[in-house]
Chain A
């Protein structure tokens, strides 16, 4: 069973702090990794994608990938209350179709003013 694992949280951080969200995956052949943000009652929104080992930065967000450790993380700098949401980690599923995604259960983030 190919799985993506995340701590469900909630992760609580004060406003202005760095939020660190972590994810591990079991399928060694996965090549593509994604972070989605999902507000309560809304659909997932893609915020970061990463395909190579190392860091990828986009504004306040930094995704980190370590394929040897099968580990993906998302850092949110200068966290804002509006960042409070569930963050879903996903990897390519390597299914027959080749292009679907495996999702983790998500980590709930709460940024307190």
Chain B
């Protein structure tokens, strides 16, 4: 396994379901991120974890709940989502060193809320 891996690749869920997205990085990085990518919009930062501590919650609704048990794993728990939450959810990781913030992305989870 190399890089950043996300599962599942595709997910269809009803508005009353609970599901979780998983991300694992094999790069030895100390920071992990969740981004949302919707059509016609820039990538939107959702959450940042630095050394397992959440350092940013970018005004994300509480129906999205992140979890970072260690510096290699990141989860996004989903609960009572809305159809407008359908998007590509991307996990990324980086090594936080002053002066460089190269982030590497996983393959993404294509989420459809019905």
Please tell me if the beta carbons of A46 and B104 are within 8 angstroms of each other in the complex: yes
Please tell me if the beta carbons of B107 and A99 are within 8 angstroms of each other in the complex: no
**A residues contacting the other copy or chain, number (CB 8 A):** 28
Please tell me if the beta carbons of A97 and B105 are within 8 angstroms of each other in the complex: no
CB of B96 closer than 8 Å to a CB of A:
yes
CB of A49 closer than 8 Å to a CB of B:
yes
State A64–B52 Cα separation when bound (angstroms): 35
Residues of A within 8 A of B (CB): 4, 31-32, 34, 36, 42-46, 49, 51, 88, 90, 92-93, 95-106
Given A45-B105, A99-B50, 13 new contacts (CB under 8 A): A43-B105, A43-B107, A44-B90, A46-B102, A49-B102, A90-B43, A97-B31, A97-B55, A97-B56, A100-B56, A101-B45, A101-B101, A103-B43
